[in-house]
C-alpha cells in the first residue's frame, strides 16, 4: 500500500523542486517586485505546459494498479443457504516501462508580433499601450507610450523565448524526468542572451526597445539583471516498479451476485504522506448461471461473470519547505468480463477483459520554489540552513524549516488528469480447504503481476 500511496502523492508534486543545490553559484540580489512577478507568472506557465506530460505516466500506473486484483475465478453460486464471506489480501507488482520515465519539456513562448499584440495600424493602439508613428513616406516609429508595463514585460519575455528557441540561442532539454523518472533538468536562461533577445524584439520591422520610454527601458534592464538564470523542472520519483497491497472483502451471494468492498479510513501517515483514505465497492454477477444446469462442478461447463467496481482515494498534506498545501481526490471505474474453468480437485484457470478509467482532481496552494526564491533575493541562501547543518548530497535539507519571509503571494493551481485502459489477464487459482491462493498476469499499458490469498467462510 505504501508504494501506491507514494505514487498518488507524486500526482500532486508538480511544483516540488530540489531545495538545496551545490551545483550552482546563485547571485546575491535584492528583491525586484517586477522580476518576482515575472518569475511567478513564468513558473505557473511552465507547470501548466509541462504538468500533464510530467504527471500522466503516474496516472497510468495508478490506474493499472488500483483497477486490478478484483477476482480469482468467475464462479458465483446462484443459490446459497446463508451468506458467505471472503476476506483477503491482494497484491500487485509492475515494472515501470522506460518510455514512461521521460518526456520532452517545453518553455512557454509566443511570437512577439503585431497580431499577438493586437496592434491597430490606424490608431496605433496595441494591447499594452500606443505606438506613435508616421506613415509617409514610409512607416516610422516616433515614440511609444505604455499603459500596462507588467503585461508588456511578460509578453516580451515570452517573445524573447520564442525568438531564442527559433534562432538557437536558447535551448530546452531534450528530455526531462516524468514523475516516475530520475534526475533533474533546468531551463537555462543566461542574462546576456535574454538582454540581446529583448533588444531585438521588433514591431513593423523596428526594434521596439529603442523607442520605449527611458523608465520602461530601465525597468526591463533591471528585471533581466535579477531574473533567475535557471528554472528547474520537477524531479522524478525514481520508481522502477510499483507494489501495492489492498485488503478486500467479498460477500455473496444473492441471485448470483457478489458484493466487493475495499476500505482504508482516513489515516494520518506522517509528514511525508499526510492524511490518506481509500475505498472501493463493486458488484459481480454470474452470467453462466443462465446456461449451466447448476452450481456443482459436473453441472458447469465453464463460468462467466460481469463485474463493475467503483473506487476513490483522497489525500491531504503540506509538502516541502514552502509548505505547499495539497488536496487530491481520485475516482476509478473498472468494468470487466471474466471467465474461468474449474478442473476438479486441481485448479481454476481464469481470464478476463476489462475497461478501466481513472480521473484525478488535485488542488494545491504553492509558493515560488526555494531555489528560485534564492535567485530572486526573497531569502538568503546561506542563512536558510541550520547553523550546524552539513548536507551530504544535493537535496538534503535541515529538519527545522527556516522561518523566512520568502514568497508572500501564494498561487493556486487546479489540475485534472485522467487515463483509460483496456486490460487482459490470465491466472491460476487453487483452493486449499478454506483458503484460496492465486496469481495472474495482466497485459496493458503497464503490465502487472498480481496475486493474493483469501480466507473463505
Residue 220 forms part of a structural domain:
no
pLDDT band, very low/low/confident/very high, at 256 (cuts 50, 70, 90): very high
* Residue 159 pLDDT greater than 90, yes or no: yes
Residue 222 forms part of a structural domain:
no
Q: Are strands 125-126 and 324-343 parallel, antiparallel or unpaired?
A: unpaired
Residue 353 forms part of a structural domain:
yes
pLDDT band, very low/low/confident/very high, at 370 (cuts 50, 70, 90): confident
pLDDT tens sequence across 56-112: 888 888 888 888 999 999 999 988 889 999 999 999 998 889 999 999 999 999 999
Residue 223 forms part of a structural domain:
no
Give the best-scoring range by mean pLDDT among 68-72, 202-206, 317-321.
Answer: 68-72
The pLDDT of residue 20: 28
Contact 49, 313 (CB under 8 A): no
Cell of 420: 483509460
CA neighbours closer than 13 Å in the CB half-sphere of residue 390:
1
What DSSP assignment string belongs to 195-258? HHHHHT-EETTEEGGGGS-HHHHHHHHHHHHTS-SEEEPPPP---SEEEEEEEEEEEE-SSSEE
Residue 170 forms part of a structural domain:
no
What is the chain's mean pLDDT, rounded?
A: 82
* Residue 22 pLDDT greater than 50, yes or no: no
The pLDDT of residue 175: 92
Residue 286 forms part of a structural domain:
yes
The whole-angstrom separation of Cα 382 and Cα 401 is 13
pLDDT band, very low/low/confident/very high, at 369 (cuts 50, 70, 90): confident
Question: Residue 436: which CATH number?
Answer: 2.40.128
Least-confidence region, from 50-54, 121-125, 335-339, 363-367 = 363-367
The count of domains in the chain is 1
The whole-angstrom separation of Cα 243 and Cα 91 is 7
pLDDT tens sequence across 399-450: 444 444 577 778 787 888 899 999 999 999 999 999 999 999 999 988 999 9
pLDDT tens sequence across 32-62: 788 888 888 888 888 888 888 888 888 888 8
The pLDDT of residue 390: 58
* Residue 319 pLDDT greater than 70, yes or no: no
Residue 226 forms part of a structural domain:
no
Least-confidence region, from 212-216, 318-322, 396-400, 421-425 = 396-400
The mean per-residue pLDDT over the stretch 171-199 comes to 90
What DSSP assignment string belongs to 186-197? EEE--HHHHHHH
pLDDT band, very low/low/confident/very high, at 324 (cuts 50, 70, 90): low
Domain that holds residue 323: 2-104+235-456
Give the best-scoring range by mean pLDDT among 185-199, 315-329, 358-372.
Answer: 185-199
The whole-angstrom separation of Cα 62 and Cα 364 is 20
pLDDT tens sequence across 125-139: 989 889 888 877 777
The pLDDT of residue 391: 59
Residue 398 forms part of a structural domain:
yes
Torsion of CA 51, 52, 58, 61, to 10 degrees: 180
Amino acid at each position: 500500500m505504501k508504494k501506491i500511496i507514494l505514487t498518488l502523492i507524486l500526482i500532486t508534486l508538480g511544483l516540488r523542486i530540489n531545495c538545496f543545490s551545490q551545483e550552482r553559484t546563485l547571485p546575491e540580489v535584492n528583491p525586484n517586485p517586477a522580476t518576482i512577478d515575472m518569475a511567478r507568472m513564468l513558473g505557473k506557465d511552465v507547470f501548466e505546459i509541462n504538468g500533464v506530460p510530467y504527471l500522466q505516466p503516474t496516472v497510468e500506473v495508478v490506474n493499472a494498479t488500483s483497477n486490478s486484483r478484483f477476482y480469482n475465478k468467475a464462479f458465483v453460486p446462484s443459490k446459497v443457504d446463508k451468506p458467505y464471506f471472503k476476506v483477503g489480501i491482494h497484491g500487485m507488482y509492475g515494472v515501470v516501462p522506460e518510455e514512461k520515465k521521460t518526456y520532452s519539456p517545453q518553455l512557454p513562448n509566443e511570437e512577439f508580433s503585431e497580431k499577438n499584440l493586437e496592434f491597430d495600424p490606424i490608431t496605433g493602439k496595441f494591447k499594452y499601450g500606443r505606438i506613435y508613428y508616421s506613415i509617409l513616406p514610409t512607416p516610422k516609429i516616433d515614440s511609444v507610450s505604455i499603459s500596462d508595463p507588467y503585461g508588456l514585460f511578460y509578453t516580451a519575455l515570452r517573445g524573447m523565448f520564442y525568438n531564442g528557441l527559433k534562432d538557437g540561442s536558447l535551448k530546452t532539454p531534450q528530455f526531462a524526468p516524468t514523475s516516475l523518472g530520475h534526475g533533474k533538468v533546468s531551463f537555462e536562461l543566461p542574462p546576456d542572451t535574454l538582454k540581446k533577445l529583448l533588444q531585438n524584439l521588433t514591431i513593423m520591422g523596428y526594434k521596439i526597445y529603442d523607442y520605449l520610454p527611458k523608465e520602461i527601458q530601465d525597468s526591463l534592464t533591471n528585471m533581466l539583471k535579477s531574473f533567475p538564470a535557471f528554472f528547474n523542472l520537477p524531479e522524478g520519483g525514481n520508481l522502477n516498479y510499483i507494489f501495492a497491497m489492498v485488503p478486500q472483502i467479498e460477500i455473496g451471494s444473492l441471485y448470483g451476485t457478489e458484493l466487493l468492498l475495499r476500505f482504508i479510513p482516513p489515516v494520518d501517515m506522517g509528514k511525508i504522506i499526510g492524511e490518506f483514505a481509500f475505498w472501493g465497492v463493486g458488484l459481480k454477477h454470474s452470467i453462466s448461471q443462465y446456461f449451466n444446469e447448476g452450481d456443482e462442478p459436473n453441472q458447469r461447463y465453464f463460468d462467466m461473470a460481469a463485474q463493475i467496481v467503483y473506487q476513490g482515494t483522497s489525500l491531504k498534506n503540506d509538502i516541502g519547505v514552502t509548505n505547499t498545501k495539497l488536496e487530491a481526490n481520485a475516482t476509478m471505474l473498472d468494468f470487466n468480463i471474466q471467465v474461468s474453468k474449474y478442473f476438479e480437485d486441481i485448479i481454476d484457470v481464469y481470464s478476463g477483459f476489462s475497461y478501466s478509467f481513472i480521473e484525478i482532481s488535485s488542488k494545491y496552494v504553492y509558493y515560488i520554489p526555494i531555489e528560485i526564491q534564492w535567485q530572486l533575493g526573497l531569502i538568503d541562501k546561506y542563512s536558510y540552513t541550520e547553523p550546524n547543518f552539513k548536507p551530504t548530497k544535493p537535496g538534503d535539507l535541515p529538519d527545522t524549516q527556516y522561518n523566512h519571509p520568502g514568497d508572500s503571494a501564494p498561487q493556486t493551481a487546479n489540475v485534472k488528469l485522467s487515463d483509460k485502459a483496456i486490460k487482459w489477464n490470465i491466472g491460476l487459482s487453487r483452493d486449499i480447504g478454506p483458503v484460496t491462493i492465486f496469481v495472474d498476469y495482466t497485459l496493458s499499458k503497464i503490465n502487472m503481476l498480481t496475486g493474493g490469498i483469501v480466507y473463505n467462510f
